[in-house]
Structures are given as structure tokens and as C-alpha cells.
Structure 1
Amino acid sequence: MASRTEHLAAKMFSEPHHFAADVEQRGISFHGTFVQDWSNEWNDADDPATGFGRYSLDLAMAVDGEKLAGWKGSNAAVRLKQHIVEFGSGDGYVEQLYSNIDASSRTYLYELWLEQQLGGSRLRLKGGKFDANSEFAVVVGAGDFINSSMGYSPTIMAFPTYPSPKLGLGAFLKVSNSSAVSAGVFQTDGWGTLTVIEPGRRWTAAGDNEGRVSIGYWRLDGDIPHWDGSRSGSTRGVYGVLEQSLWRAASSEPEKGRRLSSFLQLGHSNAAVSTFSGHAGAGFVLQSPLARRAGDSLGIAATWVNTSSQMTAAANPGSELVLESYYKILISRWVALLEDFQYFRQAAGEGDGPVTTSRLIVTF
């Protein structure tokens, strides 16, 4: 008689959908995301007519330790990522990357981590290689904007997020139903050790409009170079995120109903060390702009950075303002198309101009 393992192995090729369901019941699930961007810099004479094309492929396996091995409160994940520049190039004159998937071409292990919940899920511990932005400085409502600064404040130096997560250890304490405190220590890409502490609070305003605020403090310890050529043993900064739902239409399915939400970001770091000494960003997202298209969304936002006055004049654009808008069309359960427009304005004027991006998103 064939073993259960042999039976599952045979089903993996003959009945892949049933195989996935069987494996998920045992605590293992697989997910994938394919994102392809095609951008055009309309004011850049060097930008070819074909524009700038690249894609990112993300393959993930999540493990529920309780289902798989009876290890209550445990979870683990493995993620592989491939990023390929297909043609062209971009981001040459801008400080804030106009696509959050932009990076050099490579295929690599993106995340490998284990977490454990304790005290009835009041305390969560997480360790391994993981994206720091999945836990810290998160702007939930800005998830469909594609400018890199919409996801987290660029004033956070050596932040180990895409494209280079690092080893880290995080502790996440649920103080009450509305309050929490997060802390993490991470390796960085040659800068030393980054420590982050972030308390946060949630609330529900009139009309079931939810809101949240978080304030983060970070410290980078290592051999830190200054713009004037000196060095120090550490530097630090702060950031904040505020999100608030402003309006929600009455619906039998609140999560799928029409709603208008907003977000605000602020960040500050030491101008003697950091490229960006200040950052501010804000935006609005309308879910289901058309009542019959529940999966569509429309967003408009702005993000501004102030570059360090201590940088050399040749490398210092002074400041940069980016205006971004997008419309996301949900074509099917697995496929979405996002059309994005950004306008860059620099104090020095070198990187001024519009950039358009068409993004294809496939989940499986």
C-alpha cells in the first residue's frame, strides 16, 4: 500500500488543486505574486521610446506550526524573490524611486523566519531574515502607491527592507485591545546594527471609521561616516504614521464597501549623516470609486524630502516633491492592472518632469 507521502506526491502532479488543499489542511500554504512595471520618463531625452521595463517574482511558503506539528502559536515562512530588469533604465535623476520594485537583477532568498506567540497571543517573537518594513513604519493605506517613499519614510537610514532584508529579532507586545509596542534589532548592509522601537494605538471614530497612529524611534550603531569626513559611533532619527478612515458607505460587507481613507507620514534624521534630513507624505485612497467595481481603487498623494544641506553641492538637489496618482483595475480574482502618474519637482530643477508607469499584478 502506498504511503501517505507517496499519495500526496502523486497528487501534486495529477491533481495540483487537490494537492494544495490537502497540504494547506496540514499547515503549509504556497503563494506567489508577479509584478511587472513599464515606465516612461517623458522629459528625459535619454529615455528610449521603449521606456523602462522590469518585473519582480515572489514565491512564498507559509507554515502553521500548530497544524503541522502541534506547536501552538508558531508560524514560519520562506520567500524567494527574483527581480529582472528587462529593458531600459530609470530613476537616474530622482531621489525617491518611482517604482518600489526597482533594484538590480538577481534571484535570491528574500525571507526565512520563525515566530512564536506567547501569553494568549499577547506577545509575539519573530526571528530570522525578514523585511523590516513588514513590521515597522508600515503605511497600510498606501499599499497600492508605487513610489518607494509611500511605503516608509526614507529618513530611516540603512532600513533593511526591499531589496535587502537582513537578519533580525523582533518583539511585539499587545498592551491592550487598542495599544501595542514593537521593538526590533536588525543587521544592516554594512552600516552596523539598527534598533527600532515603535509604540502604536488604534481607535474607531464615528461611522465605524478606523484609525491608527504609530511613532518610531530608530538608532543606528556602527562606524558612521559624516558628510564632512568625520565619523561617529551612532546616529538616530524618528518617524510617525497616522492613518484614518474618513468615510464608509453602508454595506452588508464592510470590507468590500466603498470607503475613503487617508494617511500621513513624517520623518526626521541627522543632516550630518543622512541623505534625507526630513520627510513628509500624505494621501487619500478611494476604494470602489465606481459602485459596481468593488475591487478598484483610486489614490492621490504627495511625498516630499529635504536633502542634507551638508552634502556636496553637486549631489544635493535641495529638496524633492513628488505628486502621485493611480487607478487600480481589478480584472479578476488573480489579475489587476494599475496605471500610475507621478510628477517630480526638485529645487535644483534637474529631475523635474512626469513619469508614467503601467503595472501588471498577478497573484496565485
Structure 2
Amino acid sequence: MKIIHLASFNGNVGDMINHIGFYNNIRKYVTSDITIKQIEIRNYYRSWNEAAFDQNFIDMVNDGDLFVVGGGDFFRIEWDYSLTGTTFNIQNELFDKINIPIVFNAVGVDIIDGNEKNIVKFRTFLENCARKQRCIISVRNDGSYDILKGICTNELMKKILKVPDGGFFTSANYYEHIEIPENKKMIALNITKDRNDEVWGNDADKSYVDFVEELANYISLLLTSNKEYYIVFVPHILSDIEAIYDVLRKIKGVLITTRVSIAPLLNGDITTAEYITDIYRKAYFSICMRYHANISSIAMGTPTIAPIGIDKHIALYKDIGLKNRVVDIRTGKICERLMEKTDELINDYDGFLNENKRVICEMEKECKKYFEQINKLVQDTQNMI
């Protein structure tokens, strides 16, 4: 089976974590005999302008057996220029020329500016997709389904699935990591700064400075509390490096030179994100801000603490029954609350491990039903040929 896969592959380590999980499940529940043609959606962004959703794109899609869009946050409604209000800027008439089965796979939904015209364009596109006989529309379990309920009819919502993010089913080879010393309890730390405005709004600049100070204090306390602890910062995109630098500037030099390292930034398909995922697997616990940093840590069985301030990321933790792990960074006393959460994790380490197992077990049950629908879609199409 030839899969034509439209998604992001070169922009964020988390995207590849997601895709690996999707491919694993296709092989498990549909067929192991697959070839994958990856189409980088960023080439179609107006800012990149390397390609267009035109007849050539349709011809490329129709050369496959299954067209997959996502996962990723591609139902992000914010673009006035777009025919759909999203980066998937395609005419309905062209979209209707796709003659192979279509799966919108665990796509994230966001309404950025509340522009009613963009919402109407997107809803019209979604209704057109739902009318197609061989099209599955699914959104990921991060509150996206509830966002759609606010703008779609009940009839349309019946045709949209809420499914686990593919990152819960990711996998990785084992690597030798020079950034992880032997005989230490390594803590993986992923921090960000690229969505500060979304987290703190108009007060973003000052709030971020305060957050950096609090996080640096926490790291210093954590490392001095136990000589076995060692921190590996794990960047997913370039701006994560900036955030790491901002924090390290606030920490004593002796801790930086003896108790801290930084994992490499591996965008694209250098290791298909497996090197980074393996770091999360080997961590004693993970402290993660990014969406897929949290998910892949849980997938690898590693206990997590989530210092986050994006509503959809909090919604994910609520959906999987682990909201107690969240430290909302939009409120004060971040250092104090992180230390409290760390003490809770250490004192109930086995409990955190068991919670991870429970989550993955539940996600697998939901995932099985979803991929059985994809399998039926593929099989029904083959029977028609």
C-alpha cells in the first residue's frame, strides 16, 4: 500500500515522534506492506511558497492508495488568505478530485483570532470533507474536539473522531548518548519560548523573565538536593536553544559545568526523532513543556512533570487523567510548586510508572478502534477495484 502523507517532517522533533507512532499502528492494524511518500506541508505555506495545492498536487496524491493529512496542528484557523482558513489552502473543487481514501489523522484544532469569516471557510471545508464517502476525519485528544463542537453542527460532529495522538505509540532504537553520564539519575528537561504570547498574553516579556528566574532556582535546588541528579536539556526546535541559554545564564557556573548537558538539535529525518525519544526513555523523570516531549516521555514509560501554560496541553493531561502532573506556569511560585511536584513524584515513583502504563493501555484500546476503521476504509476501497 502506497501512502501519500502530507504533514510536517522537517520543522519539529515532535512531528516525527507523532509520525513514527502512526506508521507503527498502520503496520500493526492495517498492513505491514507499505511505502510512504512524505510531502512536506511547510513547502505549501505562504511564507515558504515552494509549492501550491494545485492540479499537480492532486495528481501526486492520486498516485497513491491512501492519502493521510497530519498529525499536526493543521486545523489552526487563523489565515485570512486561505480558502479554508488554515495552512491546507485548497479549493473544494480540487479537493473533490482526490479519488483515493483520505484520512485526516489526529489533527490539532485551534481558533487563533476568532475571525468569523475564517471559521465559516473552515467549517464549509470540513462539511465538504465529511460528505465524501471515503474520508475519515479525526482530531487529537488535546481539547480539539471540544473546540470543533463550538463551531460545528451536531450532525457534522457525528462524523468526526477524537483519537489518541500518534506520539503515544512512538518507538525508538537504542543509542549511546555521550551527553548522559554513567551512574547518574538523568532528568530530561525540555523548555520553550516560542509561544510566550499565547501563554502570558500582553505581559509575556516580563512573565517570561520571571519564569526563567523561577525555573533556574528550581534547577539549582534540584541539583544541590541530590548529587546523583544530572540534567540533560532536550531541544526540539531552534528557539528551545534560546530558552536553554536564558535559563543557564541564571545558574551557578559549577552546576553548569559539572551537572548539565544539552542534547543535539536534530531536526528533519537525521534520526527520525528516535535519538531524542531514547533520551526520554532513559530519563529518571522528564520535565517537559512541549506537547510531544510530554507524550513521548509517557510513551517510553518515564514519569513526567509538566510546567505548561497552553490550555490545549493542559487539556491533554486532563483527557488522559494525569492533570495532577501539571504545574500551570501562568500562576506564581513556580519554583516552589515544581519542588512540591518533584517530591510527590519521588515519593510515589512506582505510582507514576503505573499511571503511565494505565494511560498507554487505555490509548491502545482507543487506537485499535480507530485503525480498524482505517483498515475497513482501505479494504472496502480495494474490494471496489
Query: What range describes the TM-score normalised by the shorter chain of this pair?
Result: under 0.3
Q: State the TM-score, normalized to the length of structure 2.
A: 0.22
Q: Greater helix percent: which structure? A: 2
Q: State the TM-score, normalized to the length of structure 1.
A: 0.23
